[in-house]
Amino acid sequence: MVNDLPGRGGRLKVLVLADECNPEWPSLPIVGYKYARELAQLVDVTLVTHVRNRENIEKTDHGLDVVYLDTEWIAGPMFRLARLLRGGEEVAWSTSMIMNYLPYLAFERAAWKRFRRAIRDGEFDIVHRITPMSPTLPSYISVKSPVPFVIGPLNGNLPWPAAFAAEQKREKEGLRRLRDLYKVLPYAGPTQRRASAVLYGFEHTRKDLGAVQPGRLVSFPEIGYDPAIFHARGRKAAGEGPMEFLYAGRLVPYKLPELVLHVFAGSPELRRHRLRILGDGPERARMEAVIAEHGLQDCVAMEGRKSQAEVAEAMRSADVFVFPSIRELGAGVVIEAMACGAHCAVVDYGAPGALAGAGRGSCVPLGPFDALVQGFRAALERCAADRVATAEAAAAGRAYAEAGFPWAKKGARTLAIYKALTSGRSLEGLGYD
């Protein structure tokens, strides 16, 4: 269904801007789609997205009023240039963000041209930009909207750990050194100063939002999960036999999937258990070489890409979810594993450490590669030696996930923010602090 008019019926009317919004594309696009759909259960949403998303959105029973904007005249060439510079689409995320600066401003400018009269005439109560989520991409509309403008959740500004220069090079992240230049580009400062509410994911992003008045900042991780897929129902009971460890994610340098293999290689205790690796990517060849070198074929299975449902089933089967990523901004996969009842072992840096901390999992201090190997080896051996404590932390993680991260609960929190803004109330206490 495509409709140029805002919804009717007495509920709040919200213009949702989501350039990246696609039910079939992983990571940010699917998060944008699920968030928009959840908001539409609570308020009258007019969703504005890019025409590239039309085909996949219209294949679903989305129930949204959607307006598709075509800015391919600049988005297409810049995307192709970014892909050429990145050598594909697996690595060099910072290059992608830099190349998206002009296309995104063009998208919002087109949205303003289309809806400025409706916004000025009060046909919308709120304008909310949910994607892109990078603080480096400012808003054209935030400085023009006469109604409350919400931006976020935003996530970004997590530095590369100095000890992982080799991984940064393999990720082709050399241009990240230019990141802070966005602060002097047009619209950056005004976006932060004029936004009525800025939702931010984690502490590393809050530190990047110095121009936002504290009363307008709301802690609000972008990650969420669908309880119909990620749940602990039917989960196997912990037993006395071999434990099952699981890694699930792209096999790319910053996620350090190879590290888990070195952890097992040096531990006779862990080699008595089982490690499953789900995912694919440019690090696969390195990992297969490590498996062959250390003779891990009997305890390690590399199973390739899996569907979301298959990943969830593997999480329900796993005793411990191992995720050694050293530059993870959001870590939705950690919340999904928690919701499935798995104990999570992560690096205590960025989002994973924030999610699995406070006794909800095992957090290994950030350090050089060899130190991380030793830290994870000790953590996983403790999991195997004390299964009661492992299960207790997993239960705490599951409770934490279920309390705040199902999409329905995130939608309800967002509605509370909308109501506070439209009634002039404080935003205090509405975040995930």
Domain ranges of the chain: 13-224+406-423, 244-404
**Span 155-173, average pLDDT:** 83
What are the tens digits of pLDDT across the range 243-271? 999 999 999 999 999 999 999 999 999 99
C-beta separation of 405 from 224 below 8 A: yes
Integer Cα distance of 68 and 45 in angstroms: 14
**Mean of pLDDT values over 223-251:** 91
Give the residue with greater pLDDT, 310 vs 6.
310
Assign 168 a pLDDT band (cuts: 50, 70, 90).
Answer: confident
Section 125-140 average pLDDT = 93
What residues have CB less than 8 Å from 332, skipping those under 6 apart? Answer: 31, 222, 223, 224, 225
Buried b (16+ CB within 10 A) or exposed e, 45-67: bbbbbbebbeebbeeeebebbbb
> pLDDT tens across 364-418, in order?
999 999 999 999 999 999 999 999 999 999 999 999 999 999 999 999 999 999 9
- 129 backbone dihedrals φ, ψ, rounded to 5°: -95, 115
Q: Is pLDDT at 58 greater than 60 in this prediction? A: yes
Is the pLDDT assigned to residue 319 strictly greater than 90? Answer: yes
Residue 170 has pLDDT above 90, yes or no: no
Mean pLDDT computed over 65-79: 92
pLDDT at 89: 66
Query: Of 181 and 409, which is predicted with more confidence?
Result: 409
**Shortest CA distance to 232 belongs to which of 394, 70, 366, 80?**
394
> What mean pLDDT comes out for the span 347-353?
96
Contact 372, 259 (CB under 8 A): yes
| Domain covering 13-224+406-423 assigned CATH 3.40.50.2000 in the classification | yes
Q: What SS3 class is residue 151?
A: strand
**Helices 387-404/369-385 angle, 10° precision:** 100
Average pLDDT over residues 205-226: 93
Distances (CA, A) of 223 to 39, 187, 340: 15, 26, 15
pLDDT at residue 98 is higher than 80: no
Specify whether domain 244-404 bears CATH 3.40.50.2000.
yes
Task: Give Cβ neighbours of residue 232 (< 8 Å, ≥ 6 apart).
Answer: 316, 339, 340, 341, 398
Q: What is the pLDDT of residue 189?
A: 85
Q: What is the DSSP string of 252-319?
A: -GGG-HHHHHHHHHT-TTGGGSEEEEE--STTHHHHHHHHHHHT-TTTEEEEE---HHHHHHHHHH-S
Give strand pairing partners of 149. 127
Average pLDDT over residues 289-297: 97
Q: How far apart are CA 172 and CA 287, in angstroms?
A: 19
Residue 123 pLDDT > 90: yes
Task: Write down the residue that tokens 């600066």 correspond to.
Answer: 101
> What would the mean pLDDT of 159-163 be, rounded to a whole number?
87
